[in-house]
Amino acid sequence: MFSLEGKVALVTGGSRGLGRADALALARAGADVIITDILLESDQSGNSTDKYGPLAQSMKSQGVVYTEQTAAEIQKLNRRSAAYKMDVTDRQQVKEVIAKAREEFGRIDILVNNAATLDHVATIENQYDELWERDLNINLTGAYNCAKAVWPVMKEQQWGRIINMASVAGTLGGFGQASYSSTKAGVIGLTKSLALEGARHNITCNAIVPGIIGTEAWKSGNPKMNERMIARTAFRKPGEPEDIAHAIVFLATDEARYITGVELNVSGGIELFTF
């Protein structure tokens, strides 16, 4: 059960955190994995993070970029893997990377839309208009771009799995997170529409709704705020990236063939009435 032998997965935003954990878990389940990100260790262009904000810049400056390293780790598991630079907001580049991936790997069975920004935190009157547009372009339109690019491949195969990364900020709202919450709510709407359209082609589409997960980005946040968020979860602790990855592996398998259009909370019960 839960084998992905013979399948090919593509994970966006795979340089660290959830994307890296997702890629490794899919490989351990037997899939070949393509990892994409705006950040590659070997890329020394220096301009990749300028338009993506302080979090991407901080991760790059700290060396928290493992895109190519993750691909190498997967290859040691005797799975095929490659790391491609891809900006999910660049439709032409997305099409080119998908075409390249299909040429090299033969097929694309699983798409994990993980690439996102989450560093725009300000009350509505202080939200930056340019960062609102950035978040829409990356978090929502980026998922749309990637899904649209792989859709013809999955239709031809008559098999596909699209797994979108939403957030409890999209289901509960988030104080000071108007742009992030709105885009993640939009991802859920996109998920349900793709589920309806994909069913006749044996393509499922589901959304993971993470709560507080102990990624590098979360750990770099305000400690007092982090403690407040942990206190709201039923488990009183953050989840691990692997908790998300395991749910993604399940949704990608044949065992989940009759599950589509769902919002799967992997949140430690943060959405429950805890006190």
- The residues carrying an active-site annotation are 180
- What's the helix, strand, coil split of the chain in %, to 5? 50, 15, 35
Q: Are 252 and 31 in contact (CB under 8 A)?
A: yes
Residue 178 to residue 255: CA distance in whole angstroms: 36
Lookup result for tokens 């398998």: 253
Which residues, 6+ apart, have CB-to-CB distance to 163 below 8 Å?
110, 111, 112, 113, 205, 206, 207, 208, 248, 251, 252
Burial status of residue 109 (CB atoms within 10 A of its CB: 0-12, 13-18, 19 or more) = buried
- 78 — alpha (psi -120 to 50), left (phi > 0) or beta? left
Q: Which of 209, 208, 210, 229 is closest to 219 using CA atoms?
A: 229
Cα Rg of the chain, angstroms? 18
- Strands 8-12 and 203-210, by their bridges, are unpaired
